[in-house]
Amino acid sequence: MKHGRWTILAIAAIAVLGAVVAGCGGDDEGSGSAAVTDLPASSCPAASLKGPDGADYLIASDLPLQGASRPQTEQMGKAIEFVLNQRGFKAGDKKIAYQACDDATAQAASWDSAKCTANANAYVANKSLIGVIGTFNSGCAKLVIPILNPAAIAMVSPANTYVGLTQGGPVEAGEPDKYYPSGKRNYARVVAADNFQGPALAVFAQTDLKLKNVFVLNDGQLYGAGLANNFRDAAKKLNMGVAGFQKWDSKSTSFEPLGNTIKATGADGVFLAGIVDNAGGKLVKDLRAVLGPDVQILSPDGFTPIESVIKDAGKAAEGVYVSVAGPPVDQLTGKGKAFVEEFGATVGGADKVQVYSAYAAQAAEVLLDAIAASDGTRQSVVDNIFKTNVTDGIMGSFGLDANGDTTAGGVTMYQIKGDKQVTVKVVTPDASLVGKG
């Protein structure tokens, strides 16, 4: 988080918000109270609590605010606040407070399993909390969802793409049912799952880049392993060669030996299924040093923000392709275009708006609309999440199916050019390539 000087007035405002009531308020279903209780400072800094005096309900965002993702996730939090400000911190006639929570640690420099679990338990314990926007990382979602589920707390992610969270996954048995011990769903996401992203990348690699033999790497985490499988399955259906399939070790001091292994296969492309936090920038740098400029490097949304790739890869980042499971910011229309212009004015211009900020804003709108339509209980909010049908929203028009997945399946391909993320095209893979769990 960025820190600045606080005025006496600002400190006083926070004190009013943070100390409104000693008890939790509400009942077991989170029906609200005259005021909300803030979440533990160990998870959610007290200074992040925003909203009106005497708010009826609390919502939280759960994002990694430390590590390589920080520039992106900080702006996502600002986008959520922007939406709340536009709505006067209300969902219908219900007054809403908001608190930004951190699921990362300095030691991990990324999301942390213990922190994700602690955050989830804090949400359940706070009876004034009625919904969560998050998580950013699918591995963290895997831990949070089953804790929130018995308490019927709605969770809307702007970024998770691992298939197994909502459908039968390619990595772990018992998915997705093991994440929903109550037998009912409480989780949804506004971005396409990796059974769209993996095939879209494979189609782009073959059709646009004319690649014939791609080496597939993954970082060993839930998201990376699942996406690697999704890409490989689609590649086989497309009769595109898979030169190799293995993990990379984020603690490795050099990836040049790995580069030599890839070079020996004659691969004309490499797909990096994982997150930039796991030495992604160094991996790009070392591979490029061995493979040269002609071997194409493709990466998924885990390699955003591109600033983090560039920071560690330097000039080697030039030309790397990065996919994102959703529409491009520079091609949004209607309400989306208006959001980019208006929110952009608060962050240095429309060209400074990162794609996941738009998705976070959309997730906030989905949650707030569900709260507005609810009777004020947690279960009612969950029920209304699954009635979502957005027309001309920030991310366009889409619905949420019974699994909690978006009905939109477009995946945007970007390329790093001159330290910028340039839109190349949007790919929607054919249904025959999209695996269903």
Whether omega before 305 lies within 30 degrees of 0, making that bond cis, reads yes
| Beta strands at 154-157 and 187-189: parallel, antiparallel or unpaired | parallel
Ramachandran class of 94: left when φ > 0, alpha when ψ lies in -120 to 50, beta otherwise: beta
3-state SS assignment for residue 55: coil
Quick one: average pLDDT of 23-47? 65
Q: Judging by beta carbons within 10 Å of its beta carbon (0-12, 13-18, 19+), is residue 93 exposed, middle or buried?
A: exposed
Closest CA to 122 of 95, 97, 153, 94: 153
Residue 409 has, within 13 A of its CA and on its CB side, a CA count of 17
Q: 244 forms bridges with which residues in the sheet?
A: 215
**Contact by Cβ (8 Å): 303, 275:** yes
Residue 31 pLDDT > 60, yes or no? no
Quick one: average pLDDT of 283-311? 96
Q: 413 forms bridges with which residues in the sheet?
A: 323, 425
Residue 9 pLDDT > 90, yes or no? no
Rounded to the nearest integer, the mean pLDDT of the chain is 91
pLDDT confidence of residue 168: 87
Residue 186 pLDDT > 60, yes or no? yes
Using CA atoms, how far residue 295 sits from 169, 263, 287, 399, in Å, is: 30, 9, 9, 39
Q: Which residue is listed with tokens 């949804």?
A: 188
Report the C-alpha gap between 26 and 126 in whole angstroms. 9
Quick one: average pLDDT of 122-143? 97
pLDDT band at 437 (very low <50, low <70, confident <90, very high): low
Using CA atoms, how far residue 334 sits from 254, 347, 396, 423, in Å, is: 47, 20, 8, 19
* 229 vs 18 pLDDT, higher one: 229
pLDDT confidence of residue 228: 96
Quick one: average pLDDT of 308-320? 96
Structure tokens at 342: 């208006």
Report the C-alpha gap between 415 and 299 in whole angstroms. 10
Q: Which residue is listed with tokens 């279960």?
A: 379
| Beta strands at 241-247 and 411-417: parallel, antiparallel or unpaired | unpaired
Q: Which residues contact 15 (CB under 8 A, 6 or more apart)?
A: none
Residue 192 pLDDT > 70, yes or no? yes
Q: 271 forms bridges with which residues in the sheet?
A: 216, 298
pLDDT confidence of residue 33: 38
Quick one: average pLDDT of 343-350? 97
Structure tokens at 434: 């999209």
Closest CA to 352 of 83, 61, 75: 75
Quick one: average pLDDT of 247-261? 97
Query: What phi, psi does 368 have (nearest 5°)?
Result: -65, -40
pLDDT confidence of residue 13: 40
Q: What is the pLDDT of residues 60-93, one digit of tens each?
A: 999 999 998 899 999 999 999 999 999 999 999 9
pLDDT confidence of residue 11: 35
pLDDT confidence of residue 116: 98
**Contact by Cβ (8 Å): 58, 128:** yes
Quick one: average pLDDT of 261-277? 97
pLDDT confidence of residue 172: 85
